[in-house]
A and B are shown apart, each in its own frame.
Chain A
Amino acid sequence: MRRLLIGLAALLPSIAMAGEIIDSAGRRVAIPDRIEKVFAAGGPASILLYVLAPELMTGWPRRPREEEKPFIASPYRDLPEVGMLTGRGGSANLETVIRVKPDVILDFGSVKETYVSLANATQQQIGIPYLLIDGRFEATAASLRLLGAALGKSERAEQLALYVEAQLTAVDAAIAQVPATRRPRVYLARGPDGLETGVAGSINTEIIERAGGRNVVEATEGQRGLVRASIEQVIVANPDAIITWDRGFYERAGHDPLWREVKAVREGRLYLSPTAPFGWIDRPPSVNRIMGLVWLAGIFYPQQFPKDLRDQVREFYKVFYQVTPDDKELDGLIAWSKGTAPPRR
């Protein structure tokens, strides 16, 4: 097979095939020698590509919002919107992809059969190599290295992977000393009414559990991902901390008589997650979640992680997003991420 591909490459001098990469799905993908343009198939892939090699980007799946732009390096913050090839709300036109003429299409996320078949079909249809990279949080460092090798950016990938591994090791070491029963019980409040949440083990809450929190919504048979809860269930679960990124809900919950029945709200442990330039918890589930891990570990275990959040944000944004937000921007970004004052009675 390999010989055949190299033979083919010889027949097509314009596309210099460098070699072959075995992607996370175990697919052998022939990729060109020099890669100048990469098309990210969805939100998670675009962030992975941005942190690793922004100069290869062809656009964003969705145009960054105004409030997100200060945290994305110039000129990449102004790249055009090109849509998504896969995942929720796929909207990219194959002809758009062809017109952009990427050397490689990159998808970062599930490597299950659906995505493998999609990748194979697209690759065959438009003749552009299609890489599938494992998007599980645990695989972040390995995925960075794999893509780095594929794109010829191994050095940068190694730098980021080492950072990720250092954070994971630090968190693991800290929570290893805390017995499961003493770990904080956490509820993720999503949606305008705060009653949308993710069950334990789902991609939406993975990062909370990884940072040593216990999701109060335990996984039950047949339920995965996002679910709805009722306020009664939240009152009964009585979480120690509530994480949300919905500003409207955050502002209301503090003086809502029903939410005040919940310990977390009463004790001012309702935390608003920053969302710029990308979510810290999810939205989308990509390497941006490393920042969420650092943040949550600090919230859950302040003694083990006494470092100032501002410094950590500054460092992460510099290393990963290659931006240096000023003090005002930083304050705006992390306002309320340290919890609320106990609500007025």
Chain B
Amino acid sequence: MVERHGTAETIAASPHSRPGIVVALAALLVLVMTSAVLVGAYPVSPGELIGTLGRFVGGAPRAGQIDTVLLEVRFPRIGAAALAGASLAAAGATYQGLFRNPLVSPDILGVSTGAGLGAVLGIFLSLPVAAIQALAFFGGLATVALVYVVAAAVREREPTLVLVLSGVVIGSLTGAAIALLKVLADPYDQLPAITFWLLGSLASIRKHDVLLAMPLVLLGLMPLVLLRWRINVMSLGDEEAKALGLEAGRLRMIIIAAATLVTSSVVAISGVIGWVGLVIPHIARMLVGPNFDRLLPASMLLGATYMVLVDTLARTIARVETPLGILTAIIGAPFFLWLLARGRRGWE
């Protein structure tokens, strides 16, 4: 495994990599999450927060509504926000490396539209929330699997290009299926529910949603962490990877499956949230450089922090909820333009 070290050293030698940054990002996440717990429709003072935590840790019985609000509503929701942000950013960072393209987002292979189609179908059939989430989860997995199978059937010299094109084609077909269901749905009843789902929201998150999504996300993250060196090599290109003794095709399949599992698990509980997986890895790359070993944790921490901030805005700027998809686009799009304008320094 001499080659592996060689590659790692080349990348690690970039001037950006400062290990202290990851620690600082983790501290920032803790700070943001703690502050987020203290704001919301239900007034909570720091003293009350400590009281609730004390009762929770000590196993004491719950003392009134404040415990319910904190333990059943706000903690799960902030946890879900962090989980969603970290997951989308991790998948984004992975795909940007895998496809060797900074403009790639986790949606590139159709996971979000696939999950969207699943959820829309669930709403259309008036299924309960849990079934809608399950359909979204499997919709995301199935769509990416289809994209992969179609791309594999097309024998081409540029496998990543074929994958992306196949993703575009199937993604647009899936979009058409969503549009068809919207036309057929009850315009006064189901259509608003569909619209809200496609805009993303953590408003209805419950503890069991987080407990269900978390293990799936961890399961998906594991291969990404274990394969982090190989993802570095993959980002150099298939030829280089092959020269370094990696079997690009199988590795690509594992990475795509892992990233899809991560994204699908959170999209199933949060709805479609755009921009996070595209923008956050960029910022992370500016901070720690392109080495996936550092890029992955930095992206996840930044993504979690960003998502907790955005979701806190979503639940506090108005007396009702603001859809997440709207906020992430309003914040993400101009930021991305700014990144483009200042050149590709972060990437190179």
Which A residues contact B (CB, under 8 angstroms)?
Answer: 43, 62, 84, 87-89, 91, 190-193, 195-197, 199, 217-218, 220, 223, 226-233, 235-236, 245, 248, 252, 257-258, 261, 279, 282-285
A-B contact count (CB 8 A): 108
Contact A283 B188 (CB under 8 A): yes
Which B residues contact A (CB, under 8 angstroms)?
Answer: 40-42, 65, 68-69, 72-74, 77, 123, 126-129, 132, 182-183, 185-189, 191-193, 196, 201, 203-204, 206, 315, 318-321, 323
Residues of B within 8 A of A91 (CB): 183
Residues of A within 8 A of B126 (CB): 192, 248
Interface contacts beyond A193-B204, A217-B319: sample of 8 additional A-B pairs, CB < 8 Å, sorted by A: A84-B187, A191-B192, A192-B127, A217-B320, A227-B321, A235-B65, A235-B73, A261-B69
Contact B196 A228 (CB under 8 A): yes
Contact A195 B68 (CB under 8 A): no
Contact A236 B183 (CB under 8 A): no
Residues of A within 8 A of B68 (CB): 235, 257-258, 261
Q: Output the least CB separation between A252 and chain B (Å).
A: 7
Measured in the bound complex, the distance between the Cα atoms of B322 and A220 in whole Å is: 13
Contact A196 B41 (CB under 8 A): no
CB nearest neighbor in A for B318: A220
Measured in the bound complex, the distance between the Cα atoms of B69 and A236 in whole Å is: 10
Contact B196 A196 (CB under 8 A): yes
Interchain residue pairs A-B with the least CB separation, the first 10: A88-B187, A283-B188, A228-B321, A230-B203, A227-B320, A89-B187, A193-B204, A236-B41, A191-B193, A233-B41
Q: Among the listed B69, B188, B320, which residue makes an inter-chain contact with A235, where contact means beta carbons less than 8 Å apart?
A: B69
Residues of A within 8 A of B123 (CB): 192
Measured in the bound complex, the distance between the Cα atoms of B187 and A258 in whole Å is: 29
CB nearest neighbor in A for B319: A220
Measured in the bound complex, the distance between the Cα atoms of B201 and A217 in whole Å is: 18
Q: Among the listed B128, B185, B204, which residue makes an inter-chain contact with A231, where contact means beta carbons less than 8 Å apart?
A: B204
Main secondary structure of the interface of A (DSSP, over half): loop
Measured in the bound complex, the distance between the Cα atoms of B344 and A128 in whole Å is: 60
Residues of B within 8 A of A284 (CB): 187-188
Measured in the bound complex, the distance between the Cα atoms of B150 and A342 in whole Å is: 55
Q: Output the least CB separation between A339 and chain B (Å).
A: 22
Contact B65 A232 (CB under 8 A): no
Q: Output the least CB separation between B315 and chain A (Å).
A: 6
CB nearest neighbor in A for B320: A227
Contact A226/B42 with A231-B203, A252-B128 known, Cβ cut-off 8 Å: no
CB nearest neighbor in B for A198: B192
CB nearest neighbor in B for A234: B41
Measured in the bound complex, the distance between the Cα atoms of B311 and A228 in whole Å is: 13
CB nearest neighbor in B for A228: B321
Residues of A within 8 A of B188 (CB): 43, 88, 279, 282-285
